[in-house]
Structure 1
Amino acid sequence: MTPFPNRHRLLQACIAALLVVPAFSVAARREAVTADSLTARMQAAEARFTKAAIGVRNGEPEAQRESDAALQDMEDAMNACARLRGCQMNTMLATYNRLLKRTVDTEMEEDDDDLAADALGHELGGDVPRGADAASLLADDHRFDRMVEYNPAVQQSIRRWLTDMRGPLIASWENYRNMRHLMWPEFEKRGLPEALLFGIMAKESNGKVHSTSRAGAAGPMQFMYNTGLRFGLGNDGTGFDTRYDPRSAAMASAEYLAERMRQLDGNIELALAGYNGGEGRALRVYQSSGGRPFWDESVYNQFPAETRDYVPMVIAAAWLFLHPKEYGLTLPKVEPKPVALRLVQPASIYQLSICLGNKGVREGYMRTLRNLNPRYQPETFIPAGTTISATARMVTQYNRWCTSGARADLARTLVVSDPSRAIVRAGQLQTVARTTDDSAPGDTVEATMPVPAATAAPARKPASKPAAPRAYRVQEGESLATIARKFRCDVGDLAKANDIKRPNSLKRGQSIRLAGCEG
């Protein structure tokens, strides 16, 4: 909320005051109010309004009320001036023009600097802690600049982010903005810079909550399973791995980094090296080198190539987070406004992604839905009445497009479509009646046409011993639910037959037995 729309009210008051025809009388000339006192009153009200405007931008609870009261004082002063002989309305208008110009300049500056304002918390969600004012928050976050080295390795990484990896950087920004209210408070509580959070997340996962590496690291902050357990991540008892939960992952990441920083004398580069290359290695190198920095040759060369690349890439992403304008980096304005969305009918994330469309969002809402609701697989139908996490814009789109109508019906049709029904099996022909072009009206001729396998009556087979379950190799991105749907079998039976405890733990190329499946 800002006080700037009040300038229209102020302008109206000025115009109204100018239009007043003063009716001078003996009583009016004897008024105790003097022109000088009105001018002083106007100046005092301007000062109050200016101070309140800063408070509104910084989220101070009483600032808007103070802004309105100051504005009312200005209006009263102008109205009194219009009725008083000798009062210079030009002075009042000069005050108004000065205030209006300052207001417009501030708005233009904010529009031109959306990223900086967003990155520093000027549009925070309700759950995000805030500093006392914007200036202190700015100074606090830019500690990062003084905590790292801006050297050629970091500069080369900035170049990579701004060329071949500009797309992933922008996607990381969009994903982070939608999860910021979940992740940033965990870093802020531990005194860690927000830029560091963004840099790690951008490098590790691009902000994709369900990202999993070949080595088994998972979630937006890419925790290995055993490391995650040390910091409270893992199976929560329902089968969900909390490494995929953005709030839990951010909390664990902040605690992990705080622990590394305590061990490594606050050295961010070494802490990042430990994050990627192993905390044990980082501590041994630090102690054996006598506390030398990461960029010292004797330290740098003791880390693997992956870590030597990782550290400057994280720092570069964090640097761009803080200094976008210097590099001509314009990132999209994202309006997260997190809200709850109650489903009025069963739907999957796939279905919602289709019916919501992509108005105002370049790639649609699927990634945001998945990031905000990590417990749900995209193809799983969520029961009616369930409340899921969403944004205000999603709720608007949902109420318009997803509850009824052609688009809602089409989305349901698309998500339940079964490609196997399109296949026609050899020999399955059916005699049908059709009208020929050269036959008399009502005459028909016999013809044979292929019948889709799904609609053809299955041929009876003599009873025999059930065949042993077939083996199937898991494809990229598949889960037990998608495999069960593809082969028409029960997820629970599949999990039991293959002794799978975590449904989301399938890996590409893994062989599973299709117990109880039809397809």
Structure 2
Amino acid sequence: MQKVKELVLLTIMMIVGIVANAQDKRDSITLLEETPPYLEECLDSLLNQWYINKAHNNLVLDTLPSDEVVSQIPDSVYIKRIADISSPMPYTYNSIVKSHIELYTIRRRELVKNMLGLSEYYFPMFEQELDARQMPMELKYLPIIESALNPRAYSRAGASGLWQFMYYTGKQYGLTINSYVDERRDPYKSTVAAIAFLDDLYAIYKDWFLVIAAYNCGPGNVNKAIRRSGGHRDFWKIYYHLPRETRGYVPAFIAATYTFMYAKEHNLHANPNSLPLATDTISIKQPLHFKQVADMLNVKVDYLRSLNPQYRKDLIPAGDDYALRLAIADASNFAAVEDSVYLHKRETYFVNGKTTVKPQYTAYSPDTPKNKATVYYTVKSGDAVGLIADWYDVRTSDLRYWNNIRRNMIRVGQKLRVYVPKNKTEYYSRINDMSYTDKQQLSSKTVPANSASTKKNEPVDGNYEYYTVRSGDNLWTIARRYSGISNKDLMELNGLTESSKLWIGQKLKIRPKS
């Protein structure tokens, strides 16, 4: 009898184990399904922005140096921290929220640091409008999941800007969209429109999570989910009746709020960017081209684009509704030479000096970098934008910019222009005819151990501390080993450039001996 009882108990335990294992698998599938597919795409889109790349050109993204360990945090800690968030929104914690928190705090750490830096520019703008309408300040985190704080973000569905307005919704809330201007990309005007839209949605649902869901998928889909759930007006109760993408949208919002509020606890700190914190706007009296402003104020066209992303063709039409945003000092300089700016090369950029832009300036045409030569590469089967950039020792974002590449889409046979140092034109011209294996050898940032002997170190200077390069090292990981040392310090001290390749056994100066 005892053996029979033991056998029954064992059978029950096996059944429970099978069910539990099946549940675990179902949960893991659910996590994959509920993660919005656009989320990582939005984060990646941030990499192509001038104001990010200019601030830290040699940053290695999505890698953790050996001294930065990210440990697993117990659920009880997450639960307590989320419960401590003071907000009119009913923040909750579950496995789906956790998966999004880990996306931000573990898998995409460097991009979150970029967004923390950008938030210093954008959040005051959001907070001012939210405060004026007495709405929850936590709504400022919505553009984190909408666009990763990238005003030029453009979704596959056609949504644009920080707040990802669709065309008709943008027009409905007073945003101008025409051949020259897309105010969905205007940080200030789109913020006013988005907060008005959210306010209108709250008048309908009286629940902020339903408002956020409706912002993502539209009131019609939320209304259907409410009806299909039997009339429930709680996000988690209508969860499985919502479109799949929207199911992950509110959890992603909760995770974004958590990540920004507890960034320091996860050792996440703001990366610098080149956006000025203090800006001013200037009303434009006549049609004006960005290159006129750039020439007269001695600034970069990319700088003007970053502060004025709403202008599609680098041209500002004349009118009371159009303005140019500049850093305070540049705005003052503009005011001092305003008439000269309008007259500068006017016939070059406009037909008879009037509104119509000359055709050669309406199309995309990047400036040729100074002291660079142009070489061409023909795309072959198996190529990718990142690989080609590595072979030519250029940034992926530059290669995209030079060739107007969107979402890394290239085709076999397409000719790509690449700008390389003039004294290395012959070297880079040969890459187009190399085999794939030979090209891959070019992209290695450290040479194999057996070829280290072909490199020779400079004589060691006894006045400096040195570091010997090991397999897998790069300038950023080496700099992180030493307090107060940056990758740019190492480049200057050792006469290196962004395209310099390190080799195993190489001795790098770190700093003068004290």
What TM-score comes out, normalization by structure 1 length? Answer: 0.42
Bigger RCO (CA 8 Å, 6+ sep) = 2
Higher Rg of the two aligned structures = 1
TM-score (norm 2): 0.42
